Amino acid sequence: MKVTANPTTCIASGNCSRTAPRVFANLDENGGFMSILDERPPESEWDAVREAEDLCPSATIQIEEDDEADDA
Ligand code: SF4
């Protein structure tokens, strides 16, 4: 899994950092943009990342599903 985002569309709702705090962080709780902490999250985070993508109100988060095991 690879996680990417278009920071220009982020409205800083904070949904992603609440849902997958090991992968996403909000730089500024008062309206800043999110940042990706881990573009290649471990499999244990994949469900949370998919939920964060679903919950993002501005479709900022994109997920590329690739290999089953991506330990690189
Ligand atoms: S859920 Fe989407 S809009 Fe909200 S902070 Fe994360 S990337 Fe930005």
Which phi-psi region, left, alpha or beta, contains residue 12 (left: φ > 0; alpha: ψ -120 to 50)? left
Paired with 24 in beta bridges are 36
CA distances from 42 to 26, 37, 58 (A): 20, 12, 25
pLDDT per residue as tens digits for the range 28-54: 656 568 899 999 999 999 999 999 999
Residue with the larger pLDDT of the pair 1 and 33 = 1
CATH code: domain of residue 44: 3.30.70.20
Task: Determine the residue of 19, 37, 50, 58 to mutate for testing ligand 1's pocket, defined as the one with the most ligand atoms within 8 A of the Cβ atom.
Answer: 58
What does the pLDDT read at residue 70?
A: 53
| Average pLDDT score, the chain | 88
Q: Whose CA is nearest to atom 8 of ligand 1?
A: 10
Q: Which atom of ligand 1 is nearest to the CA of 19?
A: 1
Q: Which carries the bigger pLDDT value, residue 70 or residue 50?
A: 50
Task: Tell me the residue type at 50.
Answer: R
Quote the strand ranges of the chain, DSSP E: 2-5, 24-26, 34-36, 61-64
69 found inside a domain:
no
Q: Is residue 49 assigned to a domain?
A: yes
Q: Which atom of ligand 1 is nearest to the CA of 14?
A: 5
Is 48 inside any structural domain?
A: yes
Q: How confident is the model at residue 61, as a pLDDT?
A: 96
Query: Is 39 within the bounds of a domain?
Result: yes
pTM comes to: 0.86
pLDDT of residue 56: 96
Residue 6 lies in a domain: yes
